[in-house]
Each structure stands twice: as C-alpha cells, then as structure tokens.
Amino acid sequence: MTQAQAATLAPDLALIEELAHQTLEGLPEPWRLPAAQVRLRIEDFPPDHILDSMGIEDPFELTGLYEGTPLTEKSVMDQPLGPDVIWLFRRPILDEWLDRGNVSLGELVAHVLIHELAHHFGWSDADIAAIDPWWE
C-alpha cells in the first residue's frame, strides 16, 4: 500500500488504541499508574447488549463507556466481578471528529477517555478540567 492510499483510509482500531495509550502515558501523577490498571476495549460500535441496557437506539450516540465500580464506591469487602473496563467506540468517535472539524483525532480520543476515567476515579469537574483543558 502506498502512502497516498494509506492517507485515504479511515483511522483503524489500532490507531484509536494507540492514541488512548498515549493519553494514559501523558496523565499526571498520581493518576497515570492507576489509570493503566483499567482495561481498554476498542470496538467499532457498542455491542447490542450495552445499547439495549442504556436505552440507546443509535449506536453513533455513544463514543465511550466506563464499565465497573468507581473507586469512590469500592470496598475491600467487595468481591471483584471482573476488571474495570473503558470502552472506546471508533465509528462514533470518527463521526464526531468529522462533525467537529476543529480538533485532532488525538484530542478527541483523549477527551472521551478522560471523561470515562472521571467515572472510574470519581473526579469532579474541576479535576477533569485540570487534566483536560477542553472540558472547560
């Protein structure tokens, strides 16, 4: 494949995952290491069971999702049901990126990921704004 051909292809799942990992690596301490413990799942669209459970009919409406128990609600007495997971959905992210036209794909992936990390960590709006200036 030539460079010109590659430039006409939509960003793939691997690129979205790479951008997400770059975001995690760029988080300030004390968040970087605990954020890396959350499992990332990158899919084209949300699975039907997620859409159904959230009452969402249009899969393009969901760019990301945190699935787990926020750290502010966890107890050492809780039996783990599985790892906490952050889902990023490539096609809805790409649609939003094209619609916006004023942010890089990396900025949008970072914004979605940080929003989902906020659910995991129990961050306030001020906490989010300190990490993601786009939130302001």
Q: Which domain holds residue 112?
A: 11-69+82-135
Model-level pTM? 0.86
Q: Is residue 75 part of a domain?
A: no
Q: How far is CA 99 from CA 48, 52, 102, 104, 108, in A?
A: 24, 25, 9, 12, 12
Domain tally, the chain: 1
Q: Is residue 2 part of a domain?
A: no
Ordered per-residue pLDDT tens for the chain, 136 residues: 555 555 567 899 999 999 999 999 999 888 899 999 999 999 999 999 999 999 999 999 999 999 988 878 777 776 767 789 999 999 999 999 999 989 999 999 999 999 999 999 888 878 887 877 765 5
Q: pLDDT value at position 81?
A: 73
Q: Is residue 5 part of a domain?
A: no
| Residue 31 one-letter amino acid | W
| Residue 38 one-letter amino acid | V
24: CATH: 3.30.2010.20
